[in-house]
C-alpha cells in the first residue's frame, strides 16, 4: 500500500489495515484530514499524467488501456511485490493482444474472457483478487469495444499497439509502486485457500466466458462490458463480502451516475473530460487503499471514471444509462454465482496471511 511514511508499519486485521509506530495512515489514508486526503489523491494522480502523451501520438483511444495498466502495476507492486506485478503485466499484455484478435468471433472472445477471469479467480490464492481487478476488466472492454488505434492498419498491427500500450502502462505502474514502497513494510493481504480459489476461478470463467460470447454475438459493446465489470468487482472469495458489495455497488453506481451526467453537461468531450476522469481514477485508487472507506464510495468514483473515459469518444449520457442497467444485470448474475458457491459449500472466510 501507499503507506509506511515516517517508519510506520501496517498489518491486516479482520479486513482492516491498522497502523502502529508512525504517521503513515495520517499522511495518506486519514479520513479525518482533508489536507492529507488531498495530498494522497494528488500523489496517485501524478502517475496517470503520462497517459496524455498518447494524444500527440494519435493513440488517444488507448488511454483507458494505459490507465488500467497503471492501476494494475501500481497496486500489485505496492501491495504484493514487484515480481508478482511483472508476472501480471506479462499475462495482461498477452490477454489484450489475443482479445483484440478475437473481437469478431464470439466463441474465441468467450474463451479469452474465460481464461482471463479464471486466472483472476485463481490469483486469489496469491491475494490478487481486489488488487488486480482492472486487468480482467481491461480485457472485457477490449473484447466488447475494440479500439481501432491505427487508421488503415491490420488487426495484427492494432492488437500489437494496444498490447504494447497496456504493457507500458503496467510497467510504469510497477516502477511507481516499487518506488513508493521502497524501504517500507507491505501489509498482509487476504489469501484464500486453494479449494476456494479453484472454485472461484472456474465459476468466474464460466460466467464471464458465456456472457462475453453473448456480448460479441449481439454486439452489445458498452453494456456487455459493464455486466462483466460488475461480476468481477462484486464476486469475492468471502461470501458475506459478496452480498454486501452487491448492495453497496448499486448505491455507489446511482450516485456516480449523477456525478458523471453532471460533468457531461458542463464539460466538452475531449481532453478535458479525460483529465477529470484521471482525477476520479486517482480517487478510486485512494479509496481502494484506504480500508476505512465504504465500498459505495469506491463505486461512486469508479462510475464517473470509466464513464468519462469511455464516453469521451461516444455519448456520455447513453454510456451512463447503459452503466446503470448493466450493473443491475451483473449484480443479478453475481447473486447467482453466490448461490452456486453456497451450494458447493467450498468458500470459507479467507485467512489473513501475507501474500508472497
| pLDDT at residue 355, rounded to an integer | 52
Tens of pLDDT along 272-289? 777 888 888 888 777 776
9 vs 86, more confident = 86
∠ CA 78-160-207 to the nearest 5 degrees?
Answer: 65
Query: How many CB atoms sit inside 10 A of residue 270's CB?
Result: 12
Q: Which of 30, 31, 28 shows the shortest CA–CA distance to 39?
A: 28
Tens of pLDDT along 77-112? 888 889 999 999 999 999 999 999 999 899 999 999
What is the dihedral sign for C-alpha 247, 139, 80, 1?
Answer: negative
Containing H/E element for 20?
A: strand 16-20
Average of per-residue pLDDT across 327-336: 81
Range with the largest mean pLDDT of 66-70, 107-111, 184-188, 298-302: 107-111
Distances (CA, A) of 293 to 238, 248, 250, 289: 18, 12, 16, 9
207 vs 184, more confident = 207
What is the dihedral sign for C-alpha 246, 336, 319, 110?
Answer: positive
Q: Which is it for strands 351-352 and 190-191: parallel, antiparallel or unpaired?
A: antiparallel
Average of per-residue pLDDT across 201-221: 92
In terms of DSSP H, where are the helices of 267-315?
271-289, 295-311
Sequence-ordered list of residues with C-beta below 8 angstroms from that of 351, at least 6 positions apart, any chain: 190, 191, 192, 193
Return the half-sphere exposure (C-beta side, CA atoms, 13 A cut-off) of residue 263. 29
Query: How many CB atoms sit inside 10 A of residue 202's CB?
Result: 18
| pLDDT at residue 205, rounded to an integer | 95
d(CA 303, CA 183): 34
Q: Find out whether 70 and 312 touch, Cβ atoms under 8 Å.
A: no
d(CA 55, CA 63): 8
| pLDDT at residue 167, rounded to an integer | 95
Tens of pLDDT along 246-257? 677 778 877 887
Q: Which of 116, 330, 338 shows the shortest CA–CA distance to 233?
A: 330
Average of per-residue pLDDT across 285-300: 74
Amino acid at each position: 500500500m501507499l503507506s509506511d511514511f515516517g517508519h510506520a508499519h501496517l498489518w491486516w486485521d479482520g479486513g482492516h489495515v491498522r497502523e502502529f509506530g508512525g504517521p503513515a495512515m495520517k499522511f495518506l489514508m486519514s479520513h479525518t484530514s482533508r489536507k492529507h486526503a488531498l495530498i494522497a489523491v494528488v500523489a496517485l494522480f501524478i502517475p496517470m499524467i503520462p497517459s496524455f502523451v498518447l494524444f500527440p501520438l494519435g493513440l488517444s483511444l488507448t488511454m483507458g488501456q494505459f490507465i488500467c495498466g497503471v492501476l494494475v502495476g501500481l497496486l500489485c507492486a505496492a501491495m504484493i511485490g514487484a515480481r508478482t506485478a511483472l508476472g501480471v503485466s506479462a499475462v495482461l499484455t498477452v490477454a489484450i493482444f489475443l482479445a483484440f484478435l478475437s473481437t469478431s468471433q464470439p466463441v474465441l472472445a468467450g474463451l479469452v474472457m474465460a481464461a482471463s477471469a479464471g486466472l483472476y479467480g485463481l490469483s486469489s490464492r496469491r491475494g490478487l483478487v481486489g488488487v488486480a481487478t482492472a486487468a480482467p476488466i481491461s480485457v472485457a472492454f477490449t473484447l466488447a469495444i475494440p479500439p481501432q488505434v491505427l487508421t488503415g492498419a491490420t488487426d495484427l498491427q492494432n492488437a500489437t499497439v494496444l498490447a504494447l500500450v497496456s504493457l507500458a502502462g503496467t510497467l510504469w505502474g510497477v516502477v511507481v509502486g516499487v518506488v513508493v514502497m521502497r524501504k517500507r513494510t507491505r501489509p498482509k493481504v487476504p489469501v484464500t485457500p486453494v479449494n476456494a480459489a479453484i472454485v472461484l476461478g472456474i465459476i468466474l470463467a464460466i460466467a464471464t466466458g458465456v456472457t462475453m460470447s453473448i456480448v460479441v454475438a449481439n454486439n452489445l459493446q458498452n453494456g456487455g462490458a459493464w455486466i462483466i465489470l460488475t461480476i468481477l468487482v462484486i464476486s469475492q472469495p468471502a461470501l458475506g463480502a459478496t452480498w454486501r458489495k452487491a448492495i453497496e455497488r448499486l448505491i455507489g453506481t446511482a450516485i456516480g451516475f449523477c456525478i458523471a451526467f453532471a460533468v457531461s453537461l458542463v464539460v466538452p468531450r475531449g481532453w478535458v473530460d479525460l483529465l477529470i476522469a484521471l482525477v476520479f481514477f486517482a480517487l478510486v485508487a485512494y479509496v481502494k487503499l484506504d480500508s476505512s472507506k465504504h465500498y459505495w464510495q469506491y463505486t461512486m468514483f469508479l462510475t464517473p471514471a470509466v464513464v468519462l473515459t469511455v464516453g469521451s469518444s461516444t455519448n456520455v449520457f447513453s454510456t451512463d444509462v447503459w452503466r446503470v442497467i448493466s450493473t443491475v444485470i451483473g449484480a443479478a448474475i453475481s447473486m447467482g454465482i453466490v448461490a452456486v458457491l453456497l451450494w458447493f459449500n467450498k468458500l470459507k472466510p479467507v485467512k489473513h496471511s501475507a501474500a508472497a
